[in-house]
A = this chain, B = another copy of it.
Amino acid sequence: MKTIRSQNFIAAALIAAVAFTTTIARAADLLPSWNDGKAKQSIVAFVEKVTKPGSPDFVQPAERIATFDNDGCLWAEQPMYFQAFFVFDRIKALSPQHPEWKSQEPFASVLKGDMKAALAGGERALLEMVMATHAGMTTEEFEQIVKDWIASAKHPTTGKPYTEMVYQPMLELLAYLRANGFKTFIVSGGGIEFMRPWTEKVYGIPPEQVVGSSIMTKFELRDGKPALVRLPEVNFIDDKVGKPVGINQHIGRRPIAAFGNSDGDLQMLQWTTTGSGARFALLVHHTDDKREWAYDRTSHIGKLDKALDEARAKGWTVVDMKNDWKTIYPNGKTQP
């Protein structure tokens, strides 16, 4: 008898706890940095309809997959992708072991501090610099290199650590979705092993929920100890048509919500929104040249052109950073 009463108590307690959690998750004040406009309303309306039991749009928690681009969507990306700063810093750090770089492009320009010239060689030059700095060590050694860099490097114009240039409204959005039973993933053109060492701490997204571009790795025994060695060979480019491929490869389920900011995200948004049932797509439009940067159709970084047209044609949510966001960065100044 005592046991039954105690079990009933526990059952009641669990129900109370669940109800309590649900109430929190539905509260709109989980998005305090969002102004109360169309963008915020569309997010809340979508989340409420897919989580409301009995709703025709209800989605089981296991199917609540949300994918986020990283550069320009979760953190800033100007005047260059932050991973490019990492590449340049690594070239400088490794230059004593590579005296030949002094006269060899694109390395020579990096060492002279002329980043524009270094990037003049286009994709081929960039790839060469990535391979010279991202391969040749074990995965554990590379993880430590990234951790050390991200803990100390500062952005050239804001002077902030890069992980403080994440978007506060997007941090709130990630937490709001998770509180509503969503599983949040990053699907980025950036390097998968460049992101994983810090995404859990910064975004609450664990390594196994990060999808990105990668180079090949090889298992070998080094002095009898297993190691994964990073090879100077491209494995996968997680951008444009690569994003749905990467999503299928890593997640194996079509997301019901996807978040991006550039033409590189177009196929991810197409793939997400053409599944059956309720779907949601959002683009962050960089419209704020005071608090961040304003750019879209002609930008070299984060070009937003075709995806913006398609968003307007299909009714996807477009965030106007200037007007929709009270705050850009964590602890930043808020608009009145």
Is A232 part of the contact surface with B, judged by Cβ < 8 Å? no
A217 within 8 A of B: yes
Q: Are A267 and B226 in contact (CB under 8 A)?
A: yes
Query: Which of B12, B14, B228 meets A245, CB within 8 Å?
Result: B228
Interface string of A272-287 (1 = CB under 8 A from B): 0010000000000000
Partner of A252, one of B14, B20, B193, B218: B193
List the number of copies, as a whole number.
2
Task: Known A208-B183, A208-B252, A251-B207; judge A244-B226 contact (CB<8 A).
Answer: yes
What are 5 contact pairs spanning A and B, CB under 8 A?
A10-B20, A12-B13, A65-B208, A218-B241, A219-B271
Taking A10-B20, A183-B208 as given, write out 6 further A-B residue pairs in contact, using a Cβ cutoff of 8 Å, ordered by the A residue number.
A13-B14, A62-B200, A217-B248, A218-B241, A218-B245, A226-B274
A65 proximity list for chain B (CB < 8 A): 208
Q: Smallest CB–CB gap between A272 and chain B, Å?
A: 9
Closest Cβ–Cβ distance, residue A250 to chain B (whole Å): 6
**Please, which residues of chain B bring their CB within 8 A of the CB of A208?**
65, 183, 208-209, 250-253
A residues contacting B by CB (< 8 A) are 9-10, 12-14, 16-17, 20, 62, 65, 139, 183, 192-193, 196, 200, 206-210, 214, 217-221, 225-226, 228, 235, 241-242, 244-245, 248-253, 267, 270-271, 274
User: Is A267 touching B219 in the complex (CB atoms < 8 A)?
Assistant: yes
Chain B residues positioned under 8 Å from A235 (CB to CB) = 249
Contact, CB under 8 Å: B17 / A206: no
Chain B nearest CB, measured from A4 CB (Å): 14
Residue in chain B with minimal CB distance to A139: B248
Chain B nearest CB, measured from A235 CB (Å): 8
Q: Which residues of B contact A271 (CB under 8 A)?
A: 219, 226, 228
A106: shortest Cβ distance to chain B, in Å? 28
Residues of B within 8 A of A13 (CB): 12-14, 16-17
Asked if A252 meets B17 with Cβ closer than 8 Å, knowing A226-B244, A245-B228, the reply is no
> Chain B CB within 10 Å — which of A196, A210, A219 has the most?
A219
Report the bound CA distance from A192 to B252 in whole Å.
9
Given A17-B14, A226-B274, A250-B208, decide whether A245 and B267 contact each other with a Cβ distance below 8 A. Answer: no
B9 touches A16 (CB 8 A): yes
Q: Tell me the bound Cα distance from A230 to B163 in angstroms.
A: 38
Contact of A250 among B10, B248, B250, B270 (CB under 8 A): B250
Residues of B within 8 A of A217 (CB): 245, 248-249
- Are B10's CB and A16's CB within 8 A? yes
